[in-house]
Amino acid sequence: MTTTAPHSTYKGPVIERVGIVGCGTMGAGIAEISARAGLDVRIAVSSDASAARGRRRILGSLDRAVAKGRVDEADRDAALARIDFTTDLAGLADRQLVVESVKEDEQVKREVFTFLDKVVTDPEAILATNTSSLSVARLARVTERSGHVVGIHFFNPVPVLPLVEIVPSVLTERDITERAARFVTDTLGKTVIEAPDRAGFVINALLFPYLLSAIRMVDTGLATAETIDRGMELGCSHPLGPLRLADLIGLDTTAAIAEAMYEETKEPLYAPPSLLLRMVECGILGKKSGRGFYNYA
C-alpha cells in the first residue's frame, strides 16, 4: 500500500551538500530549490557548454520567480552563488546527497550510479534517482551500497509543484528512506508520498494511460489535440490538457516512460502509440524542441 510518508524520527547527519547529475529541466529545477533552501549545490554536467546552458536555465527560472514576487532579487543572487558546476563526476566526492537526473535510459543511469559508488566518499551519503519509471532496485544493484539508494521523484516544474514521490526499493534501508523524506519535507518544503518500486510508481501509473489515450485519439483522427485539450480543461477542470502536458513533459520522455512501464507490465494501456514514436524519431519532442502537438516557436 502506498501511504503518505510518516514523520521521520531519523537523527542522522543533516544534509547540507547536495550533488546533482545533469542540468536539464529536472536537474536545473532540483538545483534551484536546493540552493533556495540554503544548500551548497554542485552540478555535474558533460561539458562547459552544458554548464552554461544549465546556468541560463536556472537563472531564467529564478528571474521568473522574481517577476512573480515569489523570490526577491537578493535571494535570487544568493541562490545562484550557492551553485557551482563540474564536468567531472569525481567533483561530487564530498556530497551528502547526490540526485541523478540524466535521461530516462537505464544503461546511462546504471553507468552514473556505478561511478558515483566509486567516488562519493561519505559512508552516510544517499544516492538518489529522479527516474520517472525505472526500477530503483536495478539501479541500486550496480553499487556496493544498495541500501543507500532511493528514488526521489520530483515533478515538472520542480520549483512550483509541491509533490515528491519517495521510492525505496526492497534493498533500501529504512533509515535512508526516512532521511530522504525528512530532507524533502523539512529542508525543501515539499509534500511527500511513499511509492512502491514498480513501473510508473503511483502518479505516472495513473497519468500515463490518460496521456497515451489522448495521443491515440489524435492518431486515429477521432479528435484534434486542440479539441481534446479544450474539452479536458473546460469540461473536467484540468489546468492543462493531456497533449499540452505531454509536450511539456517532453515527447521523448513520455515515450521512454511508456516503454518502461509496458516492458514491466505488458499492459496494452502503457504501450506507446505509433504516432508518439514517429514524432520522437523525427525530433519532434514537444516544447523543448519548439514543436510537438503544438508549435512553440
Q: Which residues pair with 167 in a beta bridge?
A: 151
pLDDT surpasses 70 at 2: no
Q: Distance (Å, rounded) from C-alpha 212 to C-alpha 169? A: 27
Cα–Cα distance between 47 and 86 in angstroms, integer?
A: 8
Q: Residue 241: which of 294, 283, 277, 285 has the closest Cα?
A: 294
Element (H, E) at 296: none
CA trace torsion 94, 39, 124, 90 (10° rounding): -30
pLDDT in the model for residue 11? 59
Residues 87-122: tens digit of each pLDDT: 999 999 999 999 999 998 999 999 999 999 999 999
Give percent helix, percent strand, percent coil of the chain, each to the nearest 5. 50, 15, 35
CATH superfamily of the domain spanning 17-194: NAD(P)-binding Rossmann-like Domain (3.40.50.720)
Per-residue pLDDT tens over the stretch 169-218: 999 999 999 999 999 999 999 999 999 999 899 999 999 999 999 999 99
In the chain, where are the structural domains located?
Answer: 17-194, 203-288
The residues that are catalytic are: 132, 153, 165, 204
Are the CB atoms for 126 and 180 separated by under 8 Å? Answer: yes
Instruction: Using DSSP bridges, classify how beta strands 97-100 and 126-129 pair: parallel, antiparallel or unpaired.
Output: parallel
From edge to edge, which strands make up the β-sheet containing 40-44? 83-86, 40-44, 17-21, 97-100, 126-129, 149-154, 163-168, 191-194
pLDDT at 159 over 80: yes
What's at 144, amino acid-wise?
Answer: E
Record the cell numbers describing residue 87, joined without a space: 564536468
The rounded mean pLDDT for the chain is 94
- Give the length of the chain: 297
Task: Give the integer Cα–Cα distance in Å for 149 and 143.
Answer: 9
pLDDT, tens digit, 9 for 90 and up, residues 135-144: 999 999 999 9
- Please tell me the distance from the alpha carbon of residue 28 to that of residue 23, in angstroms, as a whole number: 5
Q: Which CATH architecture is the domain 203-288 placed in?
A: Orthogonal Bundle (1.10)
How many C-beta atoms surround the C-beta of residue 105 within 10 A? Answer: 13
| pLDDT confidence band for 12 (50 / 70 / 90) | low
What residue type is 275 in one-letter code?
A: L
Amino acid at 107: Q
Answer whether residue 76 shows pLDDT above 90: yes
Nearest in space to 124 (alpha carbons), one of 5, 11, 39, 9: 11
Closest CA to 279 of 231, 247, 239, 232: 247
Q: Is the pLDDT of residue 297 over 90?
A: no
